[in-house]
């Protein structure tokens, strides 16, 4: 699965906060979903290190998916949230099509 990032209009979506940078952008995955999630690298956002990632709900105009950054794997997992007996994210199926989904992110790092 490939991803592209479009940055917010303000100076490439980058703001300085103390000695950190906050980069706002939109991730657009193409192809099919890989179990475990979408790989997010610091270089994708012009950073050396990612300290945190805040994700919005992924959307494609007709469907909405929950998104959660998993620091241990450095991936954003997409799924269905709040199942009948669980509040945890139920990951979407491997090979589900994710083309045309948009995911707003705010990445904090150095």
Q: Where are the domains of the chain?
A: 2-109
- The C-alpha torsion from 98 through 89 and 5 to 51, rounded to 10°, is -160
Nearest CA among 17, 32, 109 for reference residue 71: 109
Residue-wise pLDDT for 17-36, tens only, equals 778 989 998 999 989 999 99
User: What's domain 2-109's architecture?
Assistant: Sandwich (2.60)
Pairing mode, strands 64-70 and 2-7? unpaired
Q: What is the pTM of this model?
A: 0.82
- Residue 85, classified by CB atoms within 10 Å of its CB into exposed (0-12), middle (13-18) or buried (19+), is exposed
- DSSP assigned state of 9: S
Low-confidence ranges of the chain (pLDDT < 50): 85
């Amino acid at each position: 699965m490939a991803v592209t990032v479009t940055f917010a209009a303000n100076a490439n979506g980058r703001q300085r906060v103390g000695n950190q940078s906050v980069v706002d952008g939109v991730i657009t995955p193409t192809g099919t979903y890989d179990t475990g999630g979408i790989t997010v690298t610091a270089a994708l956002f012009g950073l050396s290190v990612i300290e945190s990632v805040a994700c919005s709900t992924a959307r494609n105009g007709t469907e909405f998916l929950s998104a959660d950054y998993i620091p241990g794997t450095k991936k954003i997992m997409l799924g269905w949230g709040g199942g009948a007996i669980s509040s945890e994210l139920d990951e979407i199926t491997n090979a589900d099509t994710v083309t045309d989904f948009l995911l707003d992110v705010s990445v904090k790092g150095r």
